[in-house]
Amino acid sequence: MRVTNAVARKARHNKLFKLVKGFKWGRKNVYRLALNAAAKSGQNSYRDRKRKKRTFRQLWIIRISAALRAQGKRYSEFAFKMAQKK
């Protein structure tokens, strides 16, 4: 008689499907496609955690710069003085 480990296999598949829940097309319910989708989503998450820091820094600089411009000052001078105070 052929022995399979159906319980563990089902659990492994369900764990993966939980990760890709909400994805479009077969990526949410076809195991082979879901594997690739989960791997890719992990890469995107890792990359974008780094990118988020860059993006928010740019946003903060734009906002601070706009507030300083209203007072007739420059961001570069402000940043220089802040660095000197440290």
Query: Domain for residue 55, yes or no?
Result: yes
What percentage of residues in the chain have a pLDDT greater than 70?
100
Structure-token pair, residue 23: 């994805």
- Whether 51 is covered by a domain: the verdict is yes
Count of structural domains, the chain: 1
Range of the domain at 32: 6-85
Q: What is the reported pTM?
A: 0.75
Residue 1 covered by a domain = no
What does the pLDDT look like over 28-42, one tens digit per residue? Answer: 999 999 999 999 999
Radius of gyration (Cα) for the chain, nearest Å? 24
Query: 37 burial class (0-12, 13-18, 19+ CB within 10 angstroms)?
Result: buried
Residue 70: inside a domain, yes or no?
yes
Instruction: Tell me how far apart the alpha carbons of residues 75 and 64 are, in angstroms, rounded to a whole number.
Output: 7
